[in-house]
Amino acid sequence: MTDGPIQVYRKLLESGEILPDPNQALAAEKLQTLHMTLQHYAPQMGVTGWKARLSLGRKREETPLGLYMYGGVGRGKSMLMEMFYNTSTVKEKQHIHFHVFMKEVHERLHNFREAAKAGKVSPKKDPLASLARIIAKSAWLLCFDEMQITDIADAMILGRLFEVLFEEGVVIVTTSNRPPSDLYKDGLQREKFIPFIKLFEEKLDILELDGPVDHRLARLRSMKSFVTPADDTTDLELKRNFDNLTTGVVPAPANVPVKGRQVHIPLAAEGVAFASFDDLCDLPLGASDYLKIAELFHTVIISRIPKLGPNNRDAAKRFVTMIDAFYEAKTNLVCSAETPPQEIYTEGDGAFEFDRTVSRLMEMQADDYIASPHRS
């Protein structure tokens, strides 16, 4: 028998990679219980309506409670999710960032409407119900990272979408920075969103991870956030920092959706992005791109920041814009550079204006800044 999440959690404890945390231990126990339950569960899809009322077909099995883990940054939510997903023996499963999931939902709904206009599908057909059944057939275990709802377009369709997902026997495990009752807080027409909250509170076990230790903050404080020079040695140091901040989670490339485009991040995990200066500043990116990166990642690690000047003026402007976006969102920056901040941009157009960026780079290394809550 393969290890479940609790065994993986205990191994990390024994190795010293993570510190004891009673809230994490409780979450691991709950995930282990769900892990064992799902080994003997298979949803019966498609038996609804009159067939279900007349008890035709196999009796529908009760869907196990999912799990909703919420809490501040650095409490280990993503690590625990990764343990659960990677050890799950369920074949029809999907692990996805909630923002990306909703983007795909809207794209599929758009395609349905276009097909209805073209007469390829009946316009009377319920698109959300149809889409939910398609999703359920491909993955009946859905694991979401960072559930947050700020868009009215998302809020207005979630109730019906998840109602049918649960009818189809789908099990949900998700992480969030806030409890279900605070989702879409102060949003437009929020009263129409309340049924979704009640549905989640009924179908998921709600668990707060509110341990006294912010593990991310402790790790950030233990590392140098600005290192020089930009070479192979500091590349290795940044990679060690990335591994330290993402303990227990397998990193992977990420594509950040911005206005129909994708901004590629070479490595990402647990709210931490790892990229080079060229990845982020040599490409034609703008303020909206950096704002979205700052929103999705609480920490960005950037390697090989060069000396800036007239020969790379465009990249320098993007760097300034990027630092402004990170600073306003209180995104933590860990980086390597060819020179200290005050020597990065000393000659040419924009050198004078760069003084503000130098000031921000210095402030972003301070303990008060590092401890500031991320504005996602």
Give the CATH number for residue 202.
3.40.50.300
Where among 158, 179, 208 does a domain terminate?
Answer: 208
Parent domain of 269: 215-370
- 197 found inside a domain: yes
Arithmetic mean of pLDDT, 298-308: 96
Q: Whole-prediction pTM value?
A: 0.66
Residues 198 and 220 in one domain: no
Residues 227 and 198 in one domain: no
Where among 177, 193, 208 does a domain terminate?
Answer: 208
Q: What pLDDT does residue 53 have?
A: 47
Residues 147 and 229 in one domain: no
Where among 186, 208, 230 does a domain terminate?
Answer: 208
Q: What pLDDT does residue 1 have?
A: 54
Residues 225 and 155 in one domain: no
Confidence category of residue 214, pLDDT binned at 50, 70, 90: low
Q: Do 281 and 263 contact (CB within 8 A), yes or no?
A: no
Q: What pLDDT does residue 153 have?
A: 86
Domain count, the chain: 2
- 362 found inside a domain: yes
CATH number at residue 227: 3.40.50
Helices H / strands E in the chain, number of each: 15, 11
The yes-or-no verdict on residue 183 having pLDDT over 60 is yes
pLDDT digits (tens, 9 = 90+) for 343-371: 999 887 778 889 999 999 999 999 889 88
- 297 found inside a domain: yes
Q: What pLDDT does residue 59 have?
A: 56
pLDDT digits (tens, 9 = 90+) for 226-268: 999 999 999 999 999 999 888 878 889 999 988 888 999 999 9
Residues 37 and 132 in one domain: yes
Q: Do 27 and 130 contact (CB within 8 A), yes or no?
A: no
Angle at 84 between CA 272 and CA 174, to 5 degrees: 65
Confidence category of residue 306, pLDDT binned at 50, 70, 90: very high
Q: What is the Cα–Cα distance from 198 to 256, expressed in whole angstroms? A: 30
Residues 114 and 140 in one domain: yes
Mean pLDDT of the chain: 89
Residues 134 and 237 in one domain: no
- 295 found inside a domain: yes
Residues 162 and 83 in one domain: yes
